[in-house]
Structure 1
Amino acid sequence: MSKKLTFIDLFAGCGGLSEGFYKQGFKSLTHVEYDHYACESLRIRMKNYGYAEDEISVLENDITDDDIIVKIENEIKNRNVDLLIGGPPCQSFSSLGRAKDDNGMQDDPRNYLFESYEKILNHFKPKIFVFENVTGLLSAKLGKEKTVNVILKRLGKEYNLIKDPAKMVLNSCDYGVPQIRKRVILIGVKKGIKIKPEQIYEGIIKTHFNPLSVEKERVNKQKYVTVKEAISDLPAMKPGEGKKIIKHKVESWNDYLSKVRSKDDEVLLDHVARTHNEKDRKRYLAMSKNKWTFKELLEKKPSLNHIKQRVFNNSYVVQFWDKPARTIIAHLYKDGNQFIHPDHKQERTITPREAARLQSFPDDFVFEGSRTQQYKQIGNAVPPLMAEAIAKSIKKVLGK
């Protein structure tokens, strides 16, 4: 297929979803993103993929602006749009967000960001769209109706969709990402095109099984990628250590590392550890050494209790070497307590580069801004390897 398939990325973040499509040879026409540092990361990445200065298009705009369609039009200059991808920010759909809000976040303006997505979709009428969101979307409500039903109804006017929400849930772990991350991936095909959305879902090939896969789901698949395979080559360090750029040579390669790092690469970016107070360091050490939950820590070492004892067990969590990581979240930028390094000698939470590795970002991916900004971008992103599995399937059906 000589002509490249084109896409627009909305709510693009730092470009995790775009990354998967770049890897499959798709061409980006523009990205729309509100966050300044994420926009900088997007621009650097386009340069990395060989886009010329005048082709690098990132609209640093609020998607709800009245003139957003005009701005996108100006960027894409009458070129044909094959694909619209992106996921509206999902805090208001997440169960955690809803729990904290008296009104179940029904008044949250972010609930309606999908209306901007819909408006842009109906204007450009691409052949296919990919809409990504948290699984909380499936239980969230807008007024009396389930949010997902509202979205299906609205996006289904001009597009064929699958009806069964369970089939829209993909787990990044099944695609070789060293992380359990379930996301709703809604794929629509423009009515009149002879492709069924089912074909696209069937073509998103699971290459790995996950820790909860039953026997028959494991047949002909590789075992999930572990935290150890993803980050154990990275230099050990204590809290507060690390530099923006260091020299690093991988001594022992594995299948996963060869996907995220090039064999001749000798530098490592953003492997910088947060500083931690004495009490947290003791917590991390005891928990990772003994593989304790926070609750077990409090029972066995009451002196390490937290003043604001948030007992729900996920306030401090160790990642284990022999398992995939738990879902990397944007909350990482506030504190890393849910991502305690498995090596107790390091007494720390994970670095931005470790988080990026667990999300399947390539090592040459540059995240702009402060460490806080980097954590935020990484935590909000779609894992590139999962995005690539989706891109592969779409390329195959559109190629026909």
Structure 2
Amino acid sequence: MPSTKATPRKLIETTHTVAKVLSCDFGIRNGYECVNIPHVSPPPSVQDINSNTEAAAALKAFLAQQDGVRLDRVRRVAIGSSASLKTGDIVEIQQGTTRTLVLIRQTTGLDVIGSELVWGRTTILHDVLKSNEVFATDREVIAPLSKVESKIDPNTVVLRYAWDETKPAFTGLNEWARHMGSETDEVVYHEGDFVFLQPCDNAPLLDIVQVHRIRNQSVYVRYLHRQITQTSDFKHDRLLLPSEELVRVDRASFTPIAKCNVSLLSDRASSWTLDANDFFVTEEGAGVLRPECAPCTEQARKARRTQRNQTRLAGMEIMCGAGGLSLGLDLSGACETKFAIDADEDSVKTFRSHHPNAKVFCCDAGDALQRAISGRLSAQGVPFPQRGQVDVISAGPPCQGFSHRNRTAPREAAQQDPRNLLVCTVLGWVEHLQPKYLILENVEGFTDSKLGGRKQGMVKLVMKCLLDLGYAATCGFVQSGAFGCPQSRGRFVLLAARRDLVLPRLPLPTHQFLGRKANPFTWTDGTGKTYAAQRASSAAAMLPAITVSDAIGDLPRFDWKDPHQVYAGPDTIELERAQRGIKQLDVVHGQAAGFEKIEYATKPLNSYQERMRVFGGQAARTVSQHQTPGFNALAVERVVNVALRPGADYDSWSEPDVDKPALLKSFPFDRWQQKHFKYERIDGGLYFKALMTTPTAVGSMIHPDQRRIFSVRECARAQGFPDWIEFQCGDANVSSAYRQIGNAVPVPLAVALAKSLTAARMRDANGL
């Protein structure tokens, strides 16, 4: 008789700091075990403030007053005389009916000038912070000395980070002191500069002009128009056509959004390393442009030279899957992935194929953490990375427990689904390796999950652990389609940096997207007030949208052959399409249908297709894995008979042009009512719906103009994987390839995140 004893759950491996937060702050004491790191020291309580600003002087003065004796309760000290107040004091000022906490930067004869501090209860971490923790803000306070009510004993408050509720972000005090009050949105422009302008007709793309002449009341500009695709065989998303005429603009209303770079068209015009504000003109077009501003040009060249000379960050991806995140980080030029871990054999084989120089471990990330800390080798005798060998950790822990598509996913995450605590293993690796940066990606539902009864508990867990480990952090939602991905794929992203470094910002959208924008990230403080992150950005984009047809229009065409199990054939449409040279392929259940390798149908038709084909400076002539799974005959017959028009679905079987209503008969009525029961044909002029991990005929996966679902290669293109990536499959039906692709981070999104890292490093290098 088989045993009825339940298989014990595997405990999640993590480290001391993370376990302490789980236990003390969230009351979670089960489901994990702690791996002790020998000789680990907590981040220093006193930070090195190395800037010379007024805010830095105030911070240094405050920190110098602390002698390390901390009380759990805030102690207020009466002020004998306003003359006793000095730089670095923290005071409470009466403003109307509220008391404002202020770090004094200077005092005058009548006023106190300082930076507002806020209590932890007004932040996203209000229910997991100590009551005496305060945070610096960018808000300046100027108040009469007479309004100062009391002084705070410096040994009874904790000041470790600055807080910005508009992002939201916890930043290091050094970055805060360096930038306090220095940032401005005004763009300083000169004659010869290229700048973005808001389009005057609500067009989807920003206007680009060159400033030709500046006069007291007017600015004369030359517009550089986007390429008109109907007049070209190749759709270049960055090629500009300068107009012949100059346009006079009233100087008072001339408000550029940002500067951009315009250079001669070159072979790198479709490179992954380009920034969103890089554009090109032909030699003929350049002839009508005026010389650029010499100082600005030299400054830009110097910045590009500094960026090129940056040492690539050594990367490690945990739970890497097929490696979309690492691939984007590397293709951008920001990183070089040295290590990766995943437990799935096919994914590891895929990762190794495009990262041949990386050490890729096929094992559980928690087991690897345990071995790494204890100094043991992998099962294959390979040493795990140690502190000093990794600059950036990236990870996308399993998301099934958080996914909105998983209707049974509980909101009390940790107690119900142990996979959701795998983020603690990632944080354990952070504590062990102490990298400079962390990139964490997950589904939007990650933010909905409770932990220990606390709303948004998973977000709070990660942020609290990072603060205790000495890291600044920011988070929010992004829409992958707004970064040049031809797919609607909303994601939660968290970026962290060691608190002595500049914190990378969440990237702002670069591309027009024809679907929904990213959801605003919202959170609630301890008073019940709700905030929404302010992602200031123009409604117009720098670059045009990438559509389904843009992404896959150069791939060979083929249809599934109708098996005519329900309706006899052949149909006229089959014969016509065969005569037009569209291959009609038999589909065998359980066997891949399509082409393992075949020549491209056309030359690249646009920048995206060109980028997909190029490897090592050479464009490929053949494409692999242009294959679909093999379904049963009834499923095939249903798919091929969906009407050939955008958005058509199972309803079209009953329309006069198709007239095959019997294809609906075997479905129970409640199945028709399900959200994802569609048999939907995608619109080639729009975008892919969010890819799933299992290929299905039932959902929104039918090709825009071919009688089949999307192939492996087409799904890879939807995620931005270049064609030289081959997905290793242990099954004849290529299901593993679809799973790897569906689980991946879109490569264009990863490139955008990498550019945020680069921008932060540039600000560090320049002391900005």
Normalised-by-shorter TM-score class: 0.7 to 0.9
2:366, 2:663 → 1: CA distance?
A: 46
8 Å CA contact 2:346–2:736 kept in 1: the answer is yes
One-letter amino acid of the counterpart of residue 511, structure 2: H
Partner of 1:130, secondary structure, is strand
Answer yes or no: is 1:206 the counterpart of 2:513. Answer: no
* Counterpart among 332, 340, 355 of residue 701 in structure 2: 340
Q: Structure 1: which 5+ residue stretches go unaligned? A: none
Change (3 A) 1:97 1:343: closer
Aligned to 1:313: 675
Aligned to 2:404: 95
Aligned to 2:318: 10
8 Å CA contact 1:228–1:322 kept in 2: the answer is yes
Answer yes or no: is 1:174 the counterpart of 2:482. Answer: yes
TM-score by length of 2: 0.46
Aligned to 2:738: 375
| Higher deviation after alignment, 103-112 or 23-32 | 103-112
Change (3 A) 1:32 1:283: same
Partner of 2:727, secondary structure, is coil
Q: Superposition pairs for residues 1-400 of structure 1, below 5 Å? A: 1-25=309-333, 26-47=335-356, 51=357, 56-65=358-367, 66-69=370-373, 70=375, 71=377, 74-76=383-385, 79-99=388-408, 106-145=415-454, 146=456, 147-157=458-468, 158-162=470-474, 168-193=476-501, 195-197=502-504, 200-201=505-506, 204-212=507-515, 217-239=538-560, 240=587, 241-248=593-600, 250-262=602-614, 264-292=619-647, 294=649, 296-297=651-652, 302-305=661-664, 306-308=666-668, 309-310=670-671, 311-316=673-678, 317-332=680-695, 335-344=696-705, 346-369=706-729, 370=731, 371-399=734-762, 400=765
Give the % identical residues: 26
Which string of whole-angstrom CA distances, capped at 9 and with x for unpartnered residues, describes residues 51-96 of structure 1?
3xxxx30011101213254458923366432111111110011123
One-letter amino acid of the counterpart of residue 493, structure 2: I
Which string of whole-angstrom CA distances, capped at 9 and with x for unpartnered residues, describes residues 182-204 of structure 1?
111100111222x134xx22xx2
8 Å CA contact 2:642–2:650 kept in 1: the answer is no
1:298, 1:150 → 2: CA distance?
A: 50
Shift of 1:294: 4.7
One-letter amino acid of the counterpart of residue 35, structure 1: D
Partner of 1:76, secondary structure, is coil
Shift of 1:132: 0.4
1:150, 1:92 → 2: CA distance?
A: 16
Change (3 A) 1:10 1:252: closer
Shift of 1:259: 1.7
8 Å CA contact 1:7–1:28 kept in 2: the answer is yes
Which string of whole-angstrom CA distances, capped at 9 and with x for unpartnered residues, describes residues 259-298 of structure 1?
2112631111100123334433343244342445657458
One-letter amino acid of the counterpart of residue 314, structure 1: H
8 Å CA contact 2:321–2:342 kept in 1: the answer is yes
Shift of 1:219: 2.5
2:498, 2:598 → 1: CA distance?
A: 48
| Higher deviation after alignment, 66-75 or 5-14 | 66-75
2:326, 2:317 → 1: CA distance?
A: 7
Change (3 A) 1:368 1:106: same
Which string of whole-angstrom CA distances, capped at 9 and with x for unpartnered residues, describes residues 212-265 of structure 1?
479x84424223211111112211112334221222253352121122112631
Change (3 A) 1:273 1:196: closer
2:417, 2:728 → 1: CA distance?
A: 28
2:540, 2:647 → 1: CA distance?
A: 33
Rg larger for: 2
2:619, 2:448 → 1: CA distance?
A: 47
One-letter amino acid of the counterpart of residue 691, structure 2: I
Which string of whole-angstrom CA distances, capped at 9 and with x for unpartnered residues, describes residues 16-47 of structure 1?
00101111231222101110011111111013
1:32, 1:156 → 2: CA distance?
A: 25
Partner of 2:623, secondary structure, is strand
One-letter amino acid of the counterpart of residue 720, structure 2: S
One-letter amino acid of the counterpart of residue 192, structure 1: D
**Aligned Cα RMSD in Å?**
2.6
TM-score by length of 1: 0.86
8 Å CA contact 1:249–1:266 kept in 2: the answer is no
Shift of 1:5: 1.3
1:143, 1:299 → 2: CA distance?
A: 51
8 Å CA contact 1:237–1:273 kept in 2: the answer is no
Change (3 A) 1:282 1:313: farther
Which string of whole-angstrom CA distances, capped at 9 and with x for unpartnered residues, describes residues 284-318 of structure 1?
24434244565745875652225355221323332
Change (3 A) 1:143 1:318: farther
One-letter amino acid of the counterpart of residue 272, structure 1: Q
8 Å CA contact 1:135–1:169 kept in 2: the answer is yes
8 Å CA contact 1:161–1:188 kept in 2: the answer is yes
One-letter amino acid of the counterpart of residue 473, structure 2: L
Change (3 A) 1:119 1:98: farther
Shift of 1:325: 0.5
2:709, 2:689 → 1: CA distance?
A: 14
Partner of 1:116, secondary structure, is helix
1:22, 1:337 → 2: CA distance?
A: 36
Change (3 A) 1:388 1:296: same
Change (3 A) 1:82 1:336: farther
Aligned to 2:216: none
Q: Structure 2: which 5+ residue stretches go unaligned? A: 1-308, 518-536, 561-586, 588-592
Aligned to 2:15: none
Change (3 A) 1:75 1:234: same
